[in-house]
Structures are given as C-alpha cells and as structure tokens.
C-alpha cells in the first residue's frame, strides 16, 4: 500500500498532494522511493536550511537532552536568546516578540491586538492576499469566504483594496480602521510583488488615519527575499510583523514582532499559548538565523535569483515575478502542466492561485548547479 492510500484510511482528505512520497531528505534533495528530487518548493517555504542541516540537528539534540519542554509559566534563557536574536534580525524599532506556533496564529494575535488597542472594528486587507485559516486570518484572506471560511460571522468588518490601485487606498482606510494587513510579496497568489508606490501610499494613509500597519512576513521573512525582512526592501516601518514558516527551519513556530508603542499596550494575560516559545522551537530560531547570517545565505539568495532572472524567458516561462527566493514563474501555458513536467525530471516546484504561475520557494542553501539544472530543464520543455 502506498503512503497516500494508507493516509486516506484515517486522515481527513483535505489536501491535494504531489505524486511523490519522500522517506528521507538531505540538503536540497528529497529521496522518494529511489528517486532524488531537488526541492524548489521547500515544504511551502519552510526548509530555510534544507534538510538534515548539522547545526539544526546538533541544536535539537542538545536542547532535547537538556530541557525538552516548559511552558511560559517559567522564564528560560533559551527563549530570551531566541527573542533577542529575532529582534536584532528584525527591522529597527521592532524589538518585542510573542512566540506562537503558526502563521495563522501570529496574524490572529496581531489583528486582535490591533482591534483592542485602537478600539476600532474594521480591518483593511489587499485583494489576493493570504493570511491563514483561523477566524481572523481567514477574514482577511482573499476569497476565503467562498471556500473554507465557514463561520456564521466574523470578528470584524473587512475592506479589500485592489492590489496596486493607489487611488483606491484612501477610500478603504478610515478612522474606523484598526489595521491594514499586507503581504508585500503575495506568496500563495503566485509570488506577486506589490508596487513600491502602492506600498508607500498604503503606509502613509495608515499613519494619517491612525490605523496600525501589520506586514505579514510569514513567507517573505527570515532572509527569503535576500534581506532579513521584506519590509526593509520596501522601506516601510510596520507596527507589527508576523513570521512563521522558515523561522525554525521546519520545527513548528511563529512569532509576532511589535514596536515599543504596541508592547506598552499589551499587559499580563492579554495573550497566551501553551506551546508558543517552547525550548526546542526557540533553540532552533536562534540557530536558523545565526546560520543564515554566518553563511551569507541572503547573498546566495540574491545571486541565484539574479541568475534565474537573467536566464528568462526560457522554455514555457515568459517572465519572473517576486523577490529573492519567493519567485513566481509566469508561463505561456497552464503552469500546472509545467509543474508536472518538471517533477517528471526530478524537480519539485509549487503551484499557485494563478493558473499561469508556478512558484519557487527553495531552501536558502540552494547552489548554482541546482539553479542551472532548473534552467536547463525549463529550456527543454515545450513553450
């Protein structure tokens, strides 16, 4: 019986899956029943350091042996160190961290804080954005109401701004708006990078109307765009940043990073999590960020994404969108055909919500030879 057939016996069938079954992974390669597949999908942008990275294994082993778990009911140096490392990596002014377990949970808490602090009941989001599947995160996810956002009502009212429509911004942010939430590069939408002018205007109108700016860096953060956070690339100063995915390289973890003004408004009992800030996740947060910095992985991201951009158009790919290692390759034909054809050549890439775009979210340790293999394979495919 295949793993897929075995899964179907007891797991809810809610995921469409790639036709591979990895049993082992090392570096950027997934080993699947005798096949060695290059992972340009990175487990949904999670495997920042690839698989089996020695620093991660040593960290996990040492932390598991010394202190496997304690909750936030006690202080721990490993948690303090992770928060300090993350705050130093974050854009200036964002120095206060709340650890959670996922991207949705980070956004849920950011939105909750925004409504509470401002006393306002509207949130503005951007069309085609994705922020998660919990109640508040689902409210601000484009299209979610039609699919899995199944609650009878929502925690606040939402206004969606068409992306890059500068003229629409002012009409969608008012003195009733608690927060604006935005992905600067819309990941699920196909690594669609928003225009600088649109983002600058969004931040300006937020400041004018007293709405808090939440930048969802769940996909863009932790070096994936060639800078620690995409907020720096766009030169915006968010009140809050949310992160998850790469932050602990595959160990479940998320975080909310806020500025001093917000931290000053959050008090005892306002937020909470049993597993958030657990020692295994925290030890890995410190290690992942340290390796990204020590091994100059953000330079690697910039160099290899430039290499790909220079090779395009190639084969069925007519253009590249996105930044760094959050890339959308726009095809002349249906992207899912190209995804299948690449997988037949042992290269795993991801689909997106845009039928013409497939996504690359590879580990930051990817090498030139891997990018060259992708380019060569694309060149062999029909236009």
The contact set with ligand PLP (CB under 6 A) reads 44, 102-104, 107, 130-132, 183, 187-188, 216, 218-219, 244
The reply to whether omega before 200 is within 30° of 0 (cis) is: no
Minimal distance, residue 34 CB to ligand PLP, in Å: 30
Nearer to ligand PLP, 46 or 378 (CB): 46
Minimal distance, residue 39 CB to ligand PLP, in Å: 17
The edge-to-edge listing of strands for the beta sheet with 347-348 is 24-26, 29-32, 35-39, 347-348
The residue at minimum Cβ distance from ligand PLP is: 103
Minimal distance, residue 91 CB to ligand PLP, in Å: 17
Distance CA(189)–CA(352), nearest Å, equals 6
Query: Which pair of tokens denotes residue 346?
Result: 């042992």
Residue 38, classified by CB atoms within 10 Å of its CB into exposed (0-12), middle (13-18) or buried (19+), is buried
Nearer to ligand PLP, 82 or 381 (CB): 82
Query: Which pair of tokens denotes residue 221?
Result: 């953060």
Q: What is the DSSP string of 315-342?
A: TTEEEEEEETTEEEEEESS-HHHHHHHH
Minimal distance, residue 186 CB to ligand PLP, in Å: 8
Nearer to ligand PLP, 219 or 321 (CB): 219
What's phi and psi for 378, nearest 5 deg? -60, -40
Nearer to ligand PLP, 131 or 224 (CB): 131
Helix, strand, coil % in the chain, rounded to nearest 5: 40, 20, 40
Nearer to ligand PLP, 47 or 381 (CB): 47
Using the structure block, give the residue that is written with the tokens 């995409």.
230
Residue 103, classified by CB atoms within 10 Å of its CB into exposed (0-12), middle (13-18) or buried (19+), is buried
Minimal distance, residue 134 CB to ligand PLP, in Å: 7
Report angle CA 193, 324, 50 to the nearest 5 degrees. 130
Distance CA(131)–CA(103), nearest Å, equals 7
Minimal distance, residue 313 CB to ligand PLP, in Å: 27
Nearer to ligand PLP, 103 or 223 (CB): 103
Residue 256's beta-bridge partner residues? 98, 242
Choose among 224, 212, 307: nearest CA to 265: 212
Distance CA(381)–CA(313), nearest Å, equals 12
Minimal distance, residue 104 CB to ligand PLP, in Å: 3
Minimal distance, residue 101 CB to ligand PLP, in Å: 8
Minimal distance, residue 285 CB to ligand PLP, in Å: 15
Nearer to ligand PLP, 46 or 371 (CB): 46
Distance CA(156)–CA(176), nearest Å, equals 11
Minimal distance, residue 245 CB to ligand PLP, in Å: 7
Distance CA(141)–CA(107), nearest Å, equals 11
Nearer to ligand PLP, 132 or 315 (CB): 132
Nearer to ligand PLP, 183 or 193 (CB): 183
Nearer to ligand PLP, 316 or 350 (CB): 350
DSSP 8-class letter at 277:
T
């Amino acid at each position: 019986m295949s793993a897929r057939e075995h899964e179907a016996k007891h797991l809810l069938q809610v995921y469409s899956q790639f036709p591979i079954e990895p049993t082992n992974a090392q570096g950027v390669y997934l080993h699947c029943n005798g096949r060695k597949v290059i992972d340009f999908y990175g487990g949904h942008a999670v495997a920042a350091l690839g698989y089996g990275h020695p620093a991660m294994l040593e960290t996990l082993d040492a932390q598991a042996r010394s202190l496997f778990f304690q909750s936030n009911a006690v202080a721990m140096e490993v948690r303090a160190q992770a928060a300090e490392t993350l705050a130093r990596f974050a854009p200036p002014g964002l120095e206060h961290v709340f650890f959670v377990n996922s991207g949705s949970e980070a956004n849920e808490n950011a939105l909750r804080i925004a409504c509470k602090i401002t006393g306002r009941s509207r949130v503005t989001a951007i069309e085609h954005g994705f922020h998660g599947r919990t109640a508040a995160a689902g409210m601000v996810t484009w299209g979610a109401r039609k699919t899995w956002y199944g609650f009878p009502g929502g925690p606040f009212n939402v206004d969606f701004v068409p992306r890059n429509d500068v003229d629409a911004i002012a009409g969608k942010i008012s003195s009733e708006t608690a927060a604006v939430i935005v992905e600067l590069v819309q990941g699920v939408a196909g690594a669609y990078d928003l225009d600088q002018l649109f983002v600058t205007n969004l931040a300006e109108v937020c400041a004018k109307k007293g709405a808090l700016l939440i930048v969802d860096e769940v996909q863009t953060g932790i070096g994936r765009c060639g800078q620690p956070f995409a907020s720096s690339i766009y030169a915006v100063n968010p009140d809050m940043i949310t992160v998850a995915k790469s932050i602990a390289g595959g160990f479940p973890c998320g975080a909310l990073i806020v500025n001093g003004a917000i931290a000053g408004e959050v008090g005892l009992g306002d937020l909470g999590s049993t597993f958030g800030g657990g020692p295994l996740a925290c030890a890995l947060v410190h290690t992942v960020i340290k390796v990204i910095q020590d091994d100059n992985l953000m330079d690697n991201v910039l160099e290899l994404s430039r290499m790909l951009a220079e090779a395009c158009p190639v084969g069925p790919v007519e253009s590249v969108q996105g930044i760094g290692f959050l890339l959308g390759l726009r095809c002349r034909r249906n992207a899912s055909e190209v995804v299948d054809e690449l997988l037949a050549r042992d290269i795993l890439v991801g689909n997106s919500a845009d039928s013409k775009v497939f996504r690359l979210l590879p580990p930051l340790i990817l090498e030139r030879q891997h990018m060259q293999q992708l380019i060569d394979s694309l060149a062999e495919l029909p236009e």
